[in-house]
Structure 1
Amino acid sequence: MTRIPTMSNPLEWWARNEKQFPRLAKLAKSYLAIPATSTPSERAFSLAGNTFTRQRSSLHPAHVDALIFFNANQERRTRIINEEDIGESE
């Protein structure tokens, strides 16, 4: 195999060569799809900072974890419910 040029898109290469390497192509597509950004972790730390305030400093760590989990998933749950409502009205 020849080397992939540095500025080429690796997903395109895997699309062209997936028949030759089916298992590796599936694995590569899975890992190459992960965004190279810290935004999700920054969002989680921001949410934790907003949840764990001075007034809540005596909360048990498990309760803080639960609050952060519920808060983080509230937006996702609302989006799913709204999509279901839209689907029912069509």
Structure 2
Amino acid sequence: MTASAPATVSHHNNAVAQKLRALADLLEAPAHPGVSTAVIAVGYGNEMVPFVVGENEWPRTAGMLLAASRDVCDPKARVTL
């Protein structure tokens, strides 16, 4: 078993995390009854922001979030489902 390096948060990481949190807050909406939902997590390094989105919306939403995170020059940005 190998030990992980301690997580460090730089100013850049904080800016990325704040932008992703803001996007997640804007996109998070209550699910309509009977609509399947998916949980999408976006983040940088160990910083992940999960949120729930309607299943039919997640591909567009994931694309928007990834594009926005790349906008702030974040080569480690990722979007997972």
Q: Provide the TM-score with structure 1 as the length reference.
A: 0.31
Q: Provide the TM-score with structure 2 as the length reference.
A: 0.33
More strand by share: 2
RCO greater where, 1 or 2, for CA within 8 Å and sep 6 or more? 2
More helix by share: 1
